[in-house]
Amino acid sequence: MVSVPGFLLRRLYVKGSLCATEDGLTFELKNTLGSGYAKGMHPLIIDGEEVPMENTTFTVDDRTVAFSEVNANVPFTLAMNRTTTIAASGLTLATGAHKIGMAFEVQGLGVLRFDFTDAVSDG
């Protein structure tokens, strides 16, 4: 099985897009690597803590889907040159640097994982 290194996948993350919200966080991914989709998601990891899949969503083109709903018929889409917004609720994100980990299952490639560290600004 072909493997995609984490340093390449890290390029999906839009640096500086990590934002604290009233109920959690958001950040953006922009795919410049090549179109694809995932048939399954793994929990988002924030500073070593798993976020429940039902509390994590992605939005593309005004369509929002919970990570827990992703399957072969409802894929996590990574359209070329489109921005995907990831949101997690039910947590508090303090100002400062945070490490975020993400993983998803892609047909023919298996589980792809990457992480990034970015800081939340004071606003």
pLDDT given at position 36: 81
Q: Residues in the chain with pLDDT < 50?
A: none
pLDDT given at position 71: 94
Full 3-state SS string of the chain: CCCCCHHHHHHHECCCCCEEECCEEEEEEEECCCCEEECEECCCEECCEECCHHHEEEEECCEEEEHHHCCCCCCEEECECCEEEEEEECCCCCCEEEEEEEEEEECCCEEEEEEEEEEECCC
pLDDT given at position 74: 93
pLDDT given at position 119: 95
pLDDT given at position 109: 86
* Domains identified in the chain and CATH numbers: 6-118 (2.60.40)
pLDDT given at position 2: 62
- pTM, two decimals, is 0.91
